[in-house]
Amino acid sequence: MSSSLTTRIHPQAIVEPGAEIGVGVEIGPYCIISATAQIGDRCQILGGSQILGHTTLGPENEIHGGAILGGTPQDRTYHGEDTRVVIGARNKIRENVTIHRATTKEERVTRIGDDNLIMGGTHIAHDCKLGNQITIGNNSLLAGHVLVEDGVTISGGTGIHHWCSIGRLAMIGALCRVAMDVPPFLVCEGRPGRVRGLNLVGLRRNGVDGAGLEAVRDAYKILFHTSETREAALLKLEASDPMTPEVQHLVRYLRRSDQGYRGRYLEGVYRGKVKPDADGDQEPQVF
């Protein structure tokens, strides 16, 4: 990123009147910036990128060639309503990524947090909500209304069904088909995706070690490597004293998914079959 505070717009870029451009922004050739876009300070918009509609970028984002942010949603119920894409700070959005603005079914916002790496060819559909420090591999596909919590790794070629939730620090293997919620801290692989293990590397990298790591390891064994029913295992974990924050989050996620529509909590809320959490069911959980 350039350290200069001078904004540089290539003469072959199209920046429509009304667009809000911060300081130190670089806009390359053949870019298109819509009149309703907001570009934060020190963003770098490389050649051929398009920032469309009501799209807001925070500071220090890198948008690489051919990326299109803020395109209209691929949803038959959308009829031109005023919806948005809101992207935080310091994200790296690589070549040919598409991120669509929201429909009117939720909060009218497709939202992406901070410090994410979204690799080339990825599609993030309408109404998705992504947290922070997420890595998404090349050519992954996130359908509408997907929720991805902080620290998740999604390997290349993954397809995620609409309304799925991906829990904090989960890891999804390459070419996985995800049709149900993925619990936090676990590894999901296969077609269809199945829990294959505990994301020990991700946990350690994020400061979960010692007694906290052992508690998650024990919870995983109780849930997935004993003959107990899911309900009995959850009750056993809920009775543990103390229950660490990580285990509490894991248990909560599994409870939510079990109540949801075909293992998708958010779809259960949308269909009116599940009561939303009191602390809000639509936002990435930050711990």
Cα radius of gyration rounded to whole Å, the chain: 20
DSSP 14-58: EE-TT-EE-TT-EE-TT-EE-TT-EE-TT-EE-TT-EE-SEEEE-
Question: Kind of pairing, strands 50-51 and 68-71?
Answer: parallel
**Residue matched to tokens 């809920």:** 238
Q: Which residues of 14-29 are buried (b: 16+ CB within 10 A; e: fewer)?
A: ebeeebebbebbbbbe
Taking alpha carbons only, the member of 114, 119, 108, 106 closest to residue 130 is 114
Q: How many CB atoms sit inside 10 A of residue 43's CB?
A: 26
Could you give the residue numbers annotated as active site?
126-127, 144
Query: What do you get for the CA distance between the two ends of the chain, in Å?
Result: 30
The tokens describing 247, both together, are 């285990």
Classify residue 119 by its DSSP letter.
Answer: -
> How many CB atoms are closer than 10 A to CB 201?
12
Distance CA 56, CA 132 (A): 16
The Cα 220–Cα 226 span in angstroms is 10
* 165 CA to centre of own chain: 9
